[in-house]
């Protein structure tokens, strides 16, 4: 009996051990996940190879405080010693400001690239090399819109400069390793590493924003320094950071090399940039605008106005058109068009694809040179007009532009359209940006408005067609022209 019980216990134990073994085996083979081990690259060889081509930029600006300096009287009765004292006192009123930045060598002859804001207002620019040699630099040219400047130094006879090579920023991918070298807080030759956090960032720094975002540590003084890929090629110029403390919080921005190369070449050759010009004012194609225009997707650049004369006007491009391709390059977002046009060779003729009234149309445009003169957008303040008709369902009043209106609102003699003489601040039109004093030129794509009755007739037709939105072609002040999508209640 005892033997039988022992055998039974032995069998039960064997079954239990087998079950446990099978369970463990399943857990190891079927449910286990072997984590990927990511090992960062060794940047030591790369840093050693390129660090001597990165320089420190020191600038000096002298500011005279003339208001606090007594004038030197031109009077023979004043003793010379007093005049000398006044002259010395005037000199002592001059204040010297200095700043630090970074740069890098792109040509052995002494051509150096940095940021335009690094040398802004500088009376003297000094380049400090890794071996301690200091040389005065001459400004070859700068481009404020892209924040790039090109300098020239004359190397000493025994000095050998090594130029860095540019790589293609278009080949970068989010997650790629990058290396930054610069002069943060005056600590030259500082190397930091990180990854590409994002591409094509727009931080409202300029009209051609297309930054590389990186978490490599970038601080004050890093501006103008290079951002390298793992091959030791410059794929960006460190330019800006976002920070609440003034120091790095892992959000830095670099100008892509593919943007910088063309600007650098132009500055080096001409001392200035020569950009292409189309002559249109554009805005974003929102979902509502796309729906109103009958577009399948909300992409491209909506033409709000066309300069006359301009390449666009000569080609027959009109307000309300949506530019979806320029020179064979697809325009997915509005902000892509200015960059593509700017990089187009002046005098060249390109194909421009537009959508008008739901149809695809191709235009041939000869690109001119952009006039760098900035246009100031004037504000227009008005009172309620006496001759106006309030459209209750839209929440604003309209008036015809008569001779009395031109005088009252100080408008141009040839102004076309209807003026917004009053608007309800809780209306959809107001919430979408329409304001008193705005001139509604037309309802896109209809003709120019001549009177309020014409405006109301178009609204009635839209309601019969079950349209929920209309596009108002609006002028504000002397320069701003925009298209507003307004709900039809």
Active site (catalytic) residues? 117, 147, 223
Q: Six-digit token pair at 139? A: 């400004």
Quick check: 311 and 367 in contact, CB under 8 A?
yes
| Neighbouring-strand partners of residue 241 | 252
Q: Six-digit token pair at 485? A: 């999508």
Instruction: Give the whole-angstrom CA distance, residue 128 versus residue 54.
Output: 9
Quick check: 457 and 465 in contact, CB under 8 A?
no
Q: Six-digit token pair at 246? A: 């003034």
Instruction: Give the whole-angstrom CA distance, residue 61 versus residue 99.
Output: 9
Instruction: Give the whole-angstrom CA distance, residue 441 versus residue 398.
Output: 12
Measured CA to CA in angstroms, residue 191 lies from 54, 80, 115, 218, 245 at distances of: 11, 57, 19, 10, 21
Quick check: 227 and 258 in contact, CB under 8 A?
no
The three-state (H, E, C) secondary structure of 235-255, written as one string: EEEEEEECCCCCCCCCCEEEE
The three-state (H, E, C) secondary structure of 395-454, written as one string: CEEEEECCHHHHHHCCCCCCCCCEEEEEECCCCHHHHCCCCCCCEEEEEECCCECCCHHH
For 108-233, list the strands marked E by DSSP: 111-114, 124-128, 134-136, 138-143, 148-152, 177-182, 190-201, 211-214, 226-228
Per DSSP, the three-state class of 45 is helix
How far the first Cα of the chain sits from its last, in Å, is: 96
Q: Which residues contact 417 (CB under 8 A, 6 or more apart)?
A: 401, 439, 440, 441, 442, 448, 449, 473, 475
Measured CA to CA in angstroms, residue 72 lies from 65, 75, 78, 86, 130 at distances of: 15, 9, 10, 6, 46
H helix or E strand, kind and range, residue 26: helix 2-29
Omega cis (within 30) before 158: no
**How many CB atoms within 10 Å of residue 80?**
7
Q: How many CA atoms lie within 13 A of 405 on its CB side?
A: 21
């Amino acid at each position: 009996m005892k033997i039988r019980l022992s055998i039974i216990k032995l069998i039960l134990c064997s079954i239990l051990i087998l079950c446990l073994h099978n369970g463990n085996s399943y857990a190891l083979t079927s449910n286990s996940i072997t984590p990927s081990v990511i090992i960062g690259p060794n940047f030591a060889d790369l840093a050693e190879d390129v660090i001597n081509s990165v320089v420190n930029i020191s600038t000096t600006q002298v500011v005279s405080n003339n208001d606090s300096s007594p004038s030197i009287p031109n009077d023979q009765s004043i003793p010379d010693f007093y005049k000398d004292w006044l002259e010395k006192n005037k000199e002592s009123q001059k204040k010297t400001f200095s700043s630090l930045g970074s740069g890098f060598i792109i040509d052995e002859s002494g051509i150096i690239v940095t940021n335009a804001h690094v040398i802004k207002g500088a009376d003297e620019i000094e380049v400090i090399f890794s071996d301690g040699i200091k040389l005065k630099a001459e400004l070859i040219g700068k481009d404020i819109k892209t924040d790039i400047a090109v300098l020239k130094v004359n190397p000493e006879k025994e000095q050998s400069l090594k130029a860095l090579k540019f790589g293609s920023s278009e080949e970068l991918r989010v997650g790629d390793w990058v290396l930054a070298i610069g002069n943060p807080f005056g600590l030259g030759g500082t190397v930091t590493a990180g990854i590409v956090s994002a591409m094509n960032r727009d931080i409202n720094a300029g009209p051609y924003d297309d930054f590389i975002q990186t978490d490599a540590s970038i601080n004050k003084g890093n501006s103008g320094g290079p951002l390298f890929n793992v091959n030791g090629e410059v794929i960006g110029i460190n330019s800006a950071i976002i920070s609440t403390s003034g120091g790095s919080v892992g959000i830095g921005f670099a100008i892509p090399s593919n943007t910088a190369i063309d600007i650098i070449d132009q500055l080096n050759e001409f001392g200035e940039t020569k950009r292409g010009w189309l002559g249109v004012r554009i805005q974003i194609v929102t979902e509502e605008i796309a729906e109103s225009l009958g577009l399948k997707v909300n992409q491209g650049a909506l033409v709000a106005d066309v300069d006359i004369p301009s390449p666009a006007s000569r080609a027959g491009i009109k307000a309300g058109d949506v530019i979806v391709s320029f020179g064979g390059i697809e325009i997915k977002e509005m902000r892509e068009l200015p960059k593509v046009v700017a990089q187009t060779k002046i005098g060249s003729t390109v194909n421009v694809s537009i959508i008008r009234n739901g149809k695809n149309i191709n235009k041939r445009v000869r690109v001119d040179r952009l006039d760098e003169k900035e246009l100031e957008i004037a504000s227009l303040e008005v009172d309620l007009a006496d001759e106006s008709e309030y459209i209750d369902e839209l929440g604003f009043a309209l008036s015809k532009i008569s001779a009395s209106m031109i005088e009252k609102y100080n408008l141009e003699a040839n102004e076309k359209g209807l003026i917004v003489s009053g608007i309800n601040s809780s209306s959809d039109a107001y919430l979408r940006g329409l304001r008193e004093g705005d001139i509604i030129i037309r309802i896109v794509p209809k003709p120019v408005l001549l009177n309020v009755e014409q405006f109301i007739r178009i609204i009635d037709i839209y309601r019969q067609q079950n349209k929920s939105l209309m596009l108002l072609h609006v002028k504000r002040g002397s320069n701003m022209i925009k298209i507003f999508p307004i709900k039809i209640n």
